[in-house]
Chain A
């Protein structure tokens, strides 16, 4: 046993990431979300045609990206002859309402440090120092599940924030929903929601859950969790990185605090 501890644990030292204390994570995500430099844009509209999810839209003469639809594939950046699109490394993209996901070139967000500071106090007040999370897959490709699982590994370790993933919706404060809500999962999702005690939160994780994503137009999906349930926080990404999920969860806890006040 000593041998195991020496080999398995001690030699590794501390592996837990310092997100969010250090602000942005170690790895700048080079395939993050697309940002348009309006000064370079010559309105060729090549990006409109190359986008697989029609996430790029023109509203009141301004080109915007619907981050709820965007799968961060970089096709817009790769196809633009002017190089007007860049893939931004920012990951703190979660929003409290679907309409906030329609971004123009700049995205403003509360800083993670700000959120983090008051977090402990918030979780303590509302849930007695812990937040119980139940994950529901409504038809995702499994990439979101891989990242949700990564939240509990030693590197991302959400237990350090008092958050943990529980086995049953009956023990949960928050439902973390992934997938475009297939017709096959519709009933199970509603039953899971009903089984979750009040007060409860719903967080849509990934492009599929936010909007139906790349599967939006299929006969087999409903397209977006908010067609079925009230969603409190949307976390864009395909899949969102673990840090992006941590940010979104913190935003959700903040929201809960507002709710119960």
Chain B
């Protein structure tokens, strides 16, 4: 199947592209093509446009010790089937440049800034190549993801001013917000240019939460990497550790027992439930509908208590392990959980009608923070945010993992792309998630919850996509020496979705910003790594 697809793709390419392909192979459901870096933009955009593919991740590997060059890897998901295209290209260390993908694939913009920061490869033709995750006083010429970077060195401080975009004109002024915010949220900086109330431009400056996760992972043995993955983005920790475990399992060719797959599905949905309730409560709070907000927060608290009851941890930490899970759910517990879920369903139904019936609330939500479908496509948005704009994308259905292929669920979709649409999508997803937990626990196969321990050979590559509560995320691993990754690329859902906020607030008034922000529920920690 995938073989056939590769041939179709190659024959669809104009001869100057297809003839330049250096090598190609099929590995599982991945089509690998090695191409010269000069052809990266035309080949990638050909596959995107003709095959409806979307960019999943784009990153660099320091391969100098092995093959004498840097590698660039572009991962794209083909639509329709569970197939992927991996474009591989080489960059000469003596001339660390490659042609930018951004003009053809706008979503590549942040990836290329990140590659410049961490690996020191310059995307020529990039419209705005400025720092993304490293701080303003980071000196030029030191790239933390290169293999010759010494983590113990004292890094000199060289203050640079960050080049913010400027909007000029009479009556235009700037409002800087953050990194320490008024609410209890993560740090980031927002630079608004406003003329009176309406927002003319917003520039987001992130990177405050950059903890060097990818570098740290290279010195972390796989078993401990699970704990690190749980701490990439706190409230999406189960999804991250699941993606990490799945990637390591596929590196080592491990077979995870059925029961563990069902349990993982149930845990992943329990994580989604408490996250969705938090988002919904946040939206209610930001339109000053306090009664509904408190209602949602009480429900959320109950969900976290349920997590605690099942696993001993409110965030489901310490649950995933390589080859399965640590914590089983005995049948007497299952009946208690199912009873609790029935109660949740009633509460959520009541809550939805409370939330959606109030005209003054709808006034604030409808048409606010619109993200049109074209923008969602251009920026490759993911998760509930994409689905609220009509972009029908869900990893659980499109690239099923764990036990999703055996369970039935709907993927709620809206077209309006406003705050209200995002709220409605989330309310519907909540019901689907509860049903998924019920299905997974109701049909839990018997047997082991983990496979026997396994070795991970050196020099293999594996990836794993997971639908986190915020949307598609990916972990990409290349195995190295000593039971540790050689390269570990993490791409959180928010790395794509952050770009949407700059579009969604245009022309809106400043007081609606917190509401729009909440409806997108973006992760700073997951983005900055």
Q: Measuring CB to CB, which residues of chain A are less than 8 angstroms from any residue of chain B?
A: 4-5, 7-9, 12, 15, 26-27, 29-31, 50, 52, 71-75, 78, 87, 135-150, 153-156, 165, 167-169, 179-180, 182-185, 188, 192, 213-215, 217-221, 238-239, 241
For residue A238, which residues in chain B have a CB less than 8 angstroms away from its CB?
231, 317
Which of B151, B209, B301 makes the CB contact (< 8 A) with A139?
A: B209
Contacts A154-B294, A169-B180 known; A29 to B308 CB distance under 8 Å? yes
Query: Are A8 and B184 within 8 A (Cβ)?
Result: no
Q: Shortest distance in angstroms between A145's beta carbon and chain B's nearest beta carbon? A: 5
Does any Cβ of A come within 8 Å of B32's Cβ?
no
Once the chains are docked, how many angstroms separate the CA of A238 from the CA of B425?
A: 31
Which of A12, A72, A143, A156 makes the CB contact (< 8 A) with B234?
A: A143
Once the chains are docked, how many angstroms separate the CA of A56 from the CA of B180?
A: 34
Closest to A4 in B: B291
Which of A145, A153, A217 makes the CB contact (< 8 A) with B301?
A: A153
Query: Are B298 and A15 within 8 A (Cβ)?
Result: yes
For residue A26, which residues in chain B have a CB less than 8 angstroms away from its CB?
305
Query: Are A219 and B209 within 8 A (Cβ)?
Result: no
Q: List 21 A-B contacts (CB under 8 A).
A: A7-B354, A9-B291, A29-B312, A50-B223, A52-B228, A139-B525, A143-B231, A143-B235, A143-B315, A147-B314, A153-B300, A153-B301, A155-B301, A165-B184, A182-B209, A182-B210, A184-B208, A184-B210, A215-B216, A218-B215, A239-B234
Which of B186, B212, B312 makes the CB contact (< 8 A) with A215?
A: B212
Query: Are B311 and A31 within 8 A (Cβ)?
Result: yes
Q: Shortest distance in angstroms between A258's beta carbon and chain B's nearest beta carbon? A: 28
Does any Cβ of A come within 8 Å of B407's Cβ?
no
List 18 additional A-B contacts (Cβ < 8 Å) besides A150-B304, A153-B301, A238-B317.
Answer: A8-B295, A12-B298, A15-B298, A71-B231, A72-B313, A72-B317, A75-B224, A139-B525, A145-B186, A148-B184, A150-B297, A155-B298, A182-B208, A213-B231, A215-B213, A218-B213, A219-B144, A220-B210
DSSP majority for the B interface? loop
Within 8 A of A (CB), among B157-202: 179-180, 182-187
Once the chains are docked, how many angstroms separate the CA of A149 from the CA of B342?
A: 26
Query: Are B227 and A218 within 8 A (Cβ)?
Result: no
Query: Are A137 and B185 within 8 A (Cβ)?
Result: yes
Once the chains are docked, how many angstroms separate the CA of A16 from the CA of B312?
A: 21
Number of A-B residue pairs at CB separation under 8 A: 178
Query: Are A219 and B151 within 8 A (Cβ)?
Result: yes
Within 8 A of A (CB), among B206-236: 207-213, 215-216, 219-220, 223-224, 227-228, 231-235
Query: Are A31 and B291 within 8 A (Cβ)?
Result: no
Closest to A9 in B: B291
For residue B304, which residues in chain A have a CB less than 8 angstroms away from its CB?
150
Give 3 nearest A-B pairs by CB, closest first: A143-B234, A30-B312, A220-B212
Contacts A52-B227, A143-B234, A154-B298 known; A27 to B308 CB distance under 8 Å? yes
Does any Cβ of A come within 8 Å of B454's Cβ?
no
Once the chains are docked, how many angstroms separate the CA of A241 from the CA of B227?
A: 18
Query: Are A214 and B227 within 8 A (Cβ)?
Result: yes
Query: Are B237 and A141 within 8 A (Cβ)?
Result: yes
Query: Are A146 and B301 within 8 A (Cβ)?
Result: no
Contacts A184-B210, A220-B210 known; A141 to B234 CB distance under 8 Å? yes
Size band of the interface chain B makes with A? 35 or more
Once the chains are docked, how many angstroms separate the CA of A165 from the CA of B151?
A: 37
Does any Cβ of A come within 8 Å of B356's Cβ?
no
Once the chains are docked, how many angstroms separate the CA of A51 from the CA of B448?
A: 25
Query: Are B224 and A52 within 8 A (Cβ)?
Result: yes
Does any Cβ of A come within 8 Å of B89's Cβ?
no
Query: Are A221 and B211 within 8 A (Cβ)?
Result: yes
Which of A9, A27, A73, A213 makes the CB contact (< 8 A) with B317?
A: A73
Once the chains are docked, how many angstroms separate the CA of A136 from the CA of B186?
A: 8
Contacts A31-B318, A188-B179, A219-B215 known; A214 to B294 CB distance under 8 Å? no
Does any Cβ of A come within 8 Å of B409's Cβ?
no
Does any Cβ of A come within 8 Å of B278's Cβ?
yes
Query: Are B186 and A137 within 8 A (Cβ)?
Result: yes
Once the chains are docked, how many angstroms separate the CA of A109 from the CA of B314?
A: 24
Does any Cβ of A come within 8 Å of B433's Cβ?
no
Once the chains are docked, how many angstroms separate the CA of A104 from the CA of B278?
A: 38
Once the chains are docked, how many angstroms separate the CA of A206 from the CA of B179?
A: 20
Which of A50, A140, A219 makes the CB contact (< 8 A) with B525?
A: A140
Closest to A215 in B: B211
For residue A139, which residues in chain B have a CB less than 8 angstroms away from its CB?
187, 208-211, 525
Which of A27, A146, A155, A192 makes the CB contact (< 8 A) with B278?
A: A146
Q: Shortest distance in angstroms between B76's beta carbon and chain A's nearest beta carbon? A: 29
Closest to B136 in A: A184
Does any Cβ of A come within 8 Å of B16's Cβ?
no
Query: Are A217 and B216 within 8 A (Cβ)?
Result: yes
Which of B180, B291, B292 makes the CB contact (< 8 A) with A188?
A: B180
Q: Shortest distance in angstroms between B527's beta carbon and chain A's nearest beta carbon? A: 11
Query: Are B151 and A168 within 8 A (Cβ)?
Result: no
For residue A135, which residues in chain B have a CB less than 8 angstroms away from its CB?
184
For residue B184, which residues in chain A have a CB less than 8 angstroms away from its CB?
135, 137, 145, 148-149, 165
Q: Shortest distance in angstroms between A216's beta carbon and chain B's nearest beta carbon? A: 10
Greatest chain A CB density within 10 A among B211, B216, B233, B278 is at: B211
Once the chains are docked, how many angstroms separate the CA of A30 from the CA of B305?
A: 12
Contacts A73-B317, A150-B301 known; A168 to B212 CB distance under 8 Å? no
For residue B524, which residues in chain A have a CB less than 8 angstroms away from its CB?
142
Which of A145, A184, A192 makes the CB contact (< 8 A) with B185?
A: A145
